[in-house]
Amino acid sequence: MIKKKMLTKSRTGILLLVLFALAVYFQPYRLGIVTGESMTPTLQNGQLLLIDRDYYKHHPIQRGDIISCCVNGKTLVKRVYALPGEQVIQLHCDNSTGDMIIRPYMIEKVIRSFIEKPTALRIVRIEVESDAVYLLGDSGTRSIDSRDFGPVPQNQIIGKVVNCKIDTDAHILATVML
């Protein structure tokens, strides 16, 4: 009799544990932690994030969104810079400054400044495919982003980082309320 009660309690405990695990797994929200400085000053190393995995099922991706994605087996948090069908102009310098993104109206000015100070310079135009986005980190050339690995297919996007607000100075502050 005692063994039957213990067996029943054990089964009930296992069932509750499985149900809890399934509830957590199918929850649209995930917690994440920022690792690295590529999104500084917006997000800080070690900061806790809330990621909505279902957001893009009901909303289009917007320029400026902060998203979580998987690239080459690594989970990253970056900002959407360019949308499908748009063109990105990348200025590639053969020195340690890294690649820079320039606006189309700046091309002539950039070329003139580099004619005056010769250096190895290459302008690369990147067409963002219809199923991809171009991502940048907020810390400029210190970030590893689409300048390094190219546009990211939308099926690699995990979700949108939520609970970000813009303060009166137009700085983006992550204010995750848990």
- The catalytic site residues sit at 38, 78
For residue 52, CA distances in Å to 28, 33, 47, 107, 130 come to 6, 14, 16, 38, 23
Contact 80, 163 (CB under 8 A): no
What are the phi and psi torsion angles at 155 (to 5°)?
Answer: -75, -5
The amino acid present at 47, given as its one-letter code, is Q
The amino acid present at 25, given as its one-letter code, is Y
Residue 9 has which token pair?
Answer: 């309690």
Q: To which H or E segment does residue 4 belong? A: helix 2-26
The amino acid present at 104, given as its one-letter code, is P
Burial class (CB in 10 A: 0-12, 13-18, 19+), 105: exposed
